[in-house]
Amino acid sequence: MRVGFWLTVVLAASLMASLSVGDQSIPVMSVLGALLGTDSTPITDGFIVTELRLPRAVLGALVGAALAVAGAATQALIRNPLAEPGLLGINSGAALAATIVIIQVDTLPESLLPLFAVGGALAMSAAIYALAWRAGTSTLRLILIGIGLGALAGAAAAFLSVFGPVAQAQRAMVWLAGSLHDARWVKSLWLLAGGLPAVGVLWLMKHDLDLISLGDTTACALGQRVHMVRGIAVFAAAGLAGVAVAAAGPISFVGLVAPHIARKLVGAGHARLIPAAALTGAVMVVLADLFARRAFAPGQLPVGLATALLGAPFFGYLLWKKRHD
């Protein structure tokens, strides 16, 4: 619980920094004033904090939390510390669907993009799951088919971008990099509406996730209905990561790295891991977005690039540490 307290403090500090730092630097007291709506706050400061920066910071935190919880569940299911929600087809499915919508923007209204992205993510997960099914699912088949279908969808998205109109292809590229620059409250609401039920399902399954991470044989010998548990958890994780990708594009590495950090902090039990991973993921994306906004200011990096810049070295470190396994 102490870890949870400190993670909450770190998240609050990160959010505060992200509200205060920018082209227009706003002192912390004014940020607090703007949040509480006190009269003494300058109107411009109030506007910048509550209308421009707060929706973005909140969306970043929610996206990070969703990706991290989905990642924690995926790692329990795939039983590999290098697993992340992308292995379940979320990124490739969402990316393909989003590319289709953006390139074909004349015929499809772009407001449907998030819906298509979630649909693409879930459809891809379902396809992977169905193709991996052979009198039950095995982890290895899920991984192999996930990689294969992911490559296929990536190729299809690349094909569309190459032969599509240049302007739209450019926008598809930006979306594919993962970005919070178009953060609006409605996106956070959609994310909460889609993500909370999925988090609730995973939370109810926390003991089952603990058990399934010991392997199919052990889980089965202890009386778990392994295939049912894996099926439900795969779709809860895919849906959760899917709504996050729909809100901000595929932000890489958070689903991989945040659960690892959380596991180091609170151990492997999901009753503590799920909330800790959520807080860690939220902190990561909020800070990465702050970095993305300020590193080359006034130019902005997509936040997905920032998480990749920070996450790739960590990925290398994991591989390096596991080189003797």
Chain residues that interact with another protein, rule: CB under 8 A: 75-76, 79, 81, 204-205, 207, 210-211, 213-215, 217-218, 220-225, 263-264, 267-269
Identify which of residues 186 and 204 has a Cβ nearer to another protein in the complex. 204
Identify which of residues 154 and 269 has a Cβ nearer to another protein in the complex. 269
Identify which of residues 151 and 222 has a Cβ nearer to another protein in the complex. 222
CA angle 34–39–40, rounded 5-degree value: 85
Neighbours of 173 (CB within 10 A): 13
Q: How far apart are CB 204 and another protein at their closest, in Å?
A: 5
Identify which of residues 158 and 229 has a Cβ nearer to another protein in the complex. 229
Q: How far apart are CB 219 and another protein at their closest, in Å?
A: 8
Identify which of residues 167 and 319 has a Cβ nearer to another protein in the complex. 319
Identify which of residues 42 and 316 has a Cβ nearer to another protein in the complex. 316
Identify the three-state secondary structure at position 213: coil
Spatial neighbors of 288 by CB under 8 A, at least 6 apart, are: 60, 254, 303, 306, 307, 310
Q: Is the peptide bond before 42 cis (omega within 30 degrees of 0)?
A: no
Neighbours of 144 (CB within 10 A): 14
Which amino acid does the sequence have at 318? L
Q: How far apart are CB 66 and another protein at their closest, in Å?
A: 22
Exposure string of 21-36, with b = 16+ CB inside 10 Å and e = fewer, is bbeeebeeebbebbbe
CB 93 within 8 A of CB 121: yes
CA dist 212 and 225 (Å) reads 10
Q: How far apart are CB 120 and another protein at their closest, in Å?
A: 30
Q: How far apart are CB 268 and another protein at their closest, in Å?
A: 4
Q: How far apart are CB 60 and another protein at their closest, in Å?
A: 27
